[in-house]
Structure 1
Amino acid sequence: MDAELAVLAGTAGTTLVTLLTTEAWQRVSDGITSLWRRAEPTRAEAISAELEVARTDLLAARDSGDAEVGGELGAEWQGRIRRLLVTHPEEAAALRRLIDELQPLTPDVPSVTQHATASGHARVYQAGRDQHIDQR
């Protein structure tokens, strides 16, 4: 998969989870479900139901103060969307349009972009959050 599609899947996963607990959640659900409806119609209803479960889980986690669930769900949906784009790259343009349409509804969340190059025996460690490295 090319890096651009991987970034697109990451943005989509984050946007989806960010908006699941807002008034825009139904628009997000409809948009993501329509991607599957075009690409893999037999899975569309299951995806819609899984989005409902994700929303319920996220709301419950927010109420209980569990801050980890959002990141976990974001990674889960990023993976699902990435796999969809691998098998149906023609859906990338529709996904970009959906993200552009949803962008004004997204609360201001800082964006992080990381780039790294390693050569030889070099190692690169990058993290968007805490990182603990224990080399022995």
Structure 2
Amino acid sequence: MATDGWREIRVGAAALWRRVHPERVPAIEAELVEVREEVLAARETGDSDTERELAKDWQRKLRRLLAEDPELEAELRNILDNLWTPALSADEQVRIHHLVQTATVSDHGRVFQAGRDQYNSGG
């Protein structure tokens, strides 16, 4: 949230809250300004823990908003894909698309994992 795409981030968040809690939009916008300043300060000092905690806080806010209005999911996906993700730097975009898979196999078990297409033939 500290990139040049700041305007898009604010606009997208306000649009989501406006649908469920229009009376809260000014408070959300003010909080975003504070969070942006915190993110910039955290990045300046290399404080990735603070940055992660701020992101988790907004993830919780968005989850609660979706719980109140599940029909918002399509709009949130659209905002994420078309406003927020493009506003990130290339490094940040890679980070949000990072996939971690873990598997544990014992005895004669087999595991097949794929981040995209997977074709298995035979045994």
TM-score by length of 2: 0.71
Tell me how far apart the structure 2 counterparts of residues 86 and 33 of structure 1 sit (CA, whole Å): 17
1:75 to 28, 48, 56: 56
Tell me how far apart the structure 2 counterparts of residues 89 and 96 of structure 1 sit (CA, whole Å): 12
- Answer with 107-116 or 26-35: which moved more: 107-116
CA contact (8 A) 2:8 2:87 kept: no
- Answer with 53-62 or 105-114: which moved more: 105-114
CA contact (8 A) 2:2 2:40 kept: yes
Where do 1:75-114 residues align within 5 Å?
75-102=56-83, 103-106=85-88, 107=90, 108-110=93-95, 111-114=98-101
Cα deviation digits, residues 8-58 of structure 1 (max 9, x gap): xxxxxxxxxxxx111101111110111101111111110111111000001
Q: How many residues of Structure 1 are paired with residues of Structure 2 in the alignment?
A: 97
The match for 2:113 is none
Tell me how far apart the structure 1 counterparts of residues 101 and 56 of structure 2 sit (CA, whole Å): 17
Tell me how far apart the structure 2 counterparts of residues 115 and 29 of structure 1 sit (CA, whole Å): 36
2:11 to 30, 34, 57: 30
TM-score by length of 1: 0.65
The match for 1:45 is 26
Q: Quick check: which has more Rg, 1 or 2?
A: 2
Corresponding residue SS for 2:59: helix
Moved over 3 A (4+): 113-116
CA RMSD of superposed structures (Å): 1.7
2:2 to 17, 21, 25: 21
> Match of 2:8, as an amino acid?
R
Corresponding residue SS for 1:112: coil
Structure 1 regions of 5+ residues with no counterpart? 1-19, 117-136
Corresponding residue SS for 2:27: helix
> Match of 1:97, as an amino acid?
N
